Amino acid sequence: MLTYSQVKKNPQVLEFIKATEIAAGELSYTDHGIRHAQLVADRARTIAIEVGLSKKEQELSAIAGFCHDMGMFLGRSEHHYWGSLVFSQIFLGKIPTDDLVTVMQAIVNHDKEGVIILNKISAILILADKADVHKSRVIEKDMKKVKKDIHDRVNYAVEEIRLSFKDNNIILKLKVDDKFVPVMEYFEIFTPRMAYCRSAAQYLGYKFGLEINNFKLL
């Protein structure tokens, strides 16, 4: 079985993520490089454990998390498709086809309008990826430029973030510096992503909730 430990050492995977990190920087996007890949992989594994998936599914969740953005060096638009195809080129014939299909589906569906969740790994990846909103994602160092870009300033305002599992709820908890940005700006750009999270949680048999500065939205 292919393991996350093997994937995160794969030279092709690392090169594609490095290229994606450079491309995202050139386009003035938030971080989509190794930091984001590792964080999403670790969070995906944690979610898989929390919802009771098997060891194999935990590995596949982490693998999908690590590789989900590595196609962005080919372009932001449709990067979910590029990433899935790149993953298949690296691992086709090296892992069971059903595992390959599962990870490819997860990568394709992590950032797609009209998402159709076809497996639990896909649902977990959506939750793990969309939960990465934090000031450490901001690449831009010029604060004047950060304040002008809504994605940068919203990410920069998020000081703490975690996923909480309680009873039958998955709750995304945020601590936001509302002196830096109004909380409404978070909803201005992240409402569609929260809708993805709700669909993902429902697929796993959970309800999704959002808590910002101790204010709960369930």
Crossing angle of helices 97-109 and 55-67, rounded to 10° = 50
CA distances from 43 to 97, 126, 131, 153, 172 (A): 25, 11, 9, 23, 12
Nearest to 136 by CA among 162, 163, 155, 161: 155
Residue indicated by tokens 């940005």 = 181
Q: What is the per-residue pLDDT for 111? A: 73
Domains of the chain: 4-217 (1.10.3210.10)
182-206 pLDDT, tens digit each:
989 988 888 888 989 999 999 999 9
Q: What is the mean pLDDT of the chain?
A: 91
SS3 171: strand
135-171 pLDDT, tens digit each:
988 888 889 999 998 899 999 999 999 999 988 999 9
Q: List beta partners, residue 206.
A: none
pTM of the model: 0.92
96-115 pLDDT, tens digit each:
999 999 999 999 988 766 67
The secondary structure of 115-131 as a DSSP string is ----SHHHHHHHHHHHT
CB atoms closer than 10 angstroms to residue 1: 10
39-56 pLDDT, tens digit each:
999 999 999 999 999 999
